[in-house]
Amino acid sequence: MYTHHDEWILILDFGSQYTQLIARRIRELNVYCEIHPFNVSPQQFNDHPPKGIVLSGGPKSVYDEDAPVLNLDFFDYGKPVLGVCYGLQSLAHSLVPGSVERAEKREFGRAKLIIDDDSGLLKNVPDDSVVWMSHGDHINKLPEPYKVIAHTSNAPVAAVRHKEKDIFGVQFHPEVVHTEKGKEILQNFVIHICKCQGQWTASSFIETEIESIRELVGDNKVICALSGGVDSTVVATLIHKAIGDQLLCVFVDNGLLRKNEFNEVLDTYKEHLHLPVIGVDASEKFLKNLEGVADPEEKRIIIGNTFIEVFDESISDQEDFKYLAQGTLYPDVIESVSFKGPSATIKSHHNVGGLPEKMHLDLIEPVRELFKDEVRSVGRELGIPDSFIGRHPFPGPGLGIRVLGELSKEKLDLLREADSIFIHALREYGLYDKVWQALAVLLPVQSVGVMGDERTYEYTIALRAVTSVDGMTADWARLPYEFLSEVSNRIINEVRGVNRVVYDVSSKPPATIEWE
């Protein structure tokens, strides 16, 4: 995961739900950063040390039996350090055991920051600006030679600094939007204290990555499985820019795509992006393999295995390939090295898991350093149409996991029509770009209705639209009632087989964005 950059910030993860937000905020300053578990060896970075280190927050108390412990060897680099919440407490506790204690009054939510020293970390941060607190412990005794640079009405120590070195700590979370001057605080640390230049941009990423791809691939060939989504499209376009027709792309119609999607996307690949792509219609094969299957995880496995089979068959007459290109993103990479260990399987990942082993291929993952919004920025820089780059995320198994229960072509076609009405209406009302993801789900429920003078017993469609930044957390979109009313009426009137439409008002967590 560790890659060389001229300047970068190391984020040590102590388990906070906000750790990825720290990375995102630093990258918004055009500075590259990486997240590593708190217990990573400092020696790993000896050849190319970071310009600064951030210690993330975390859910533990320093007194918990399994509390993460800060490795003080990281201070041997002599680089600036910023401890955030638990990161600050771990720093203080490591230097002076007993300096952290349970707070009499826990502090969660907004608080007003009172500045005691407005230089350095808190430069241009006004008194009484709002910060976001989330802690049950606090510091009761500062290690020598640290001093308090800010406090709140409940926390006598809200921000500290070393009197001689560039070591800082804050008891609040500067990375969350609720902290009014959080961006300025992080900018003070990263740009002014760590002396980063802020030159890591989409264009510089493309330039560096093209050079790396050419060096890695040489005269060999690369195969890329296109899903029709943003990630794989950006990967294919980037690699094509680097090595031209040494790349071959395969776009498979699995029968689980949206209405007209296969032909429309294939046309974009060929006519607008000029990618060397093969279109394969394998819809009948997928539906046959999925017949009678209701369990969502089993569906995903069958879809993945069938894709591997179809993909392998579709290039059987092609020359040998050495590399398989995938659209793995940085959140996937972070999850794989989390100090908390492998998380429970919520659902199988849709990337092509079996192909590298089956076809003896090496993986090439050009955007594995990037978050979703950064991939979109790279795509725009590469000249991919904004109408394509702005498309909502779409799962690898497609509508196969949006028809709940057993699949059939009839159900899929019914869902395609309802989904098309919903998505087109969002565009017509100017709402499409205001939500992160929107989808229709066909429920395995039939209910009584009345159409004309006849009693009906037909399916229910659930509509879902969420707002989010990166899909890791999401809230249901507050779409206008008039809009929902019109969409409901259109679906019921135009889609034969549906007599009821409901709207999902669940947030993630506890719900997921997809229903399966």
Number of helical (H) and strand (E) elements in the chain, helices listed first: 14, 18
3-state SS assignment for residue 203: helix
Tokens of 356: 């590298």
Element (H, E) at 441: strand 437-451
Cβ within 8 Å of residue 246, ≥6 positions away: 217, 219, 220, 221, 222
| Cα 195 to Cα 181: distance, rounded to the nearest angstrom | 20
Q: Which pLDDT value is given to residue 473? A: 77
With the C-alpha atoms ordered 302, 223, 514, 177, is the resulting torsion angle positive or negative? positive
Annotation marks residue 207 as catalytic = no
| Cα 9 to Cα 53: distance, rounded to the nearest angstrom | 6
Element (H, E) at 490: helix 481-494
The pLDDT mean for the chain works out to 88
The upper half-sphere exposure of residue 40, i.e. CA atoms within 13 Å in the direction of its Cβ, equals 23
Ranking 104-108, 211-215, 251-255 by mean pLDDT, the lowest is 104-108
Catalytic residue among 173, 224, 240, 417: 173
| Cα 85 to Cα 387: distance, rounded to the nearest angstrom | 41
Annotation marks residue 209 as catalytic = no
State the pLDDT confidence band at 335, using cuts at 50, 70 and 90.
low
Q: Which pLDDT value is given to residue 2? A: 40
Ranking 206-210, 255-259, 307-311, 364-368 by mean pLDDT, the lowest is 307-311
Catalytic residue among 34, 107, 175, 516: 175
CA-to-CA separations, 322 to 37, 75, 219, 235, 239, in angstroms, rounded: 32, 42, 10, 16, 14
State the pLDDT confidence band at 103, using cuts at 50, 70 and 90.
low
Q: Which pLDDT value is given to residue 143? A: 81
DSSP lists the bridge partners of residue 160 as 148, 169
Annotation marks residue 85 as catalytic = yes
CA of residue 446 relative to chain centroid, distance: 35
Reported as a single tens digit per residue, the pLDDT across 130-151 is 998 875 677 878 888 899 999 9
Q: Do the strands 222-226 and 323-325 form a parallel or antiparallel pair, or are they unpaired?
A: parallel
Segment 416-439 mean pLDDT: 97
With the C-alpha atoms ordered 38, 42, 47, 52, is the resulting torsion angle positive or negative? positive
Q: Which pLDDT value is given to residue 95? A: 81
Cβ within 8 Å of residue 408, ≥6 positions away: 287
Reported as a single tens digit per residue, the pLDDT across 261-289 is 999 999 999 999 999 999 999 999 999 99
Helices marked H in 218-273? 230-243, 261-267
| Cα 358 to Cα 313: distance, rounded to the nearest angstrom | 12
Catalytic residue among 85, 196, 224, 249: 85
State the pLDDT confidence band at 153, using cuts at 50, 70 and 90.
confident
How far the first Cα of the chain sits from its last, in Å, is 30
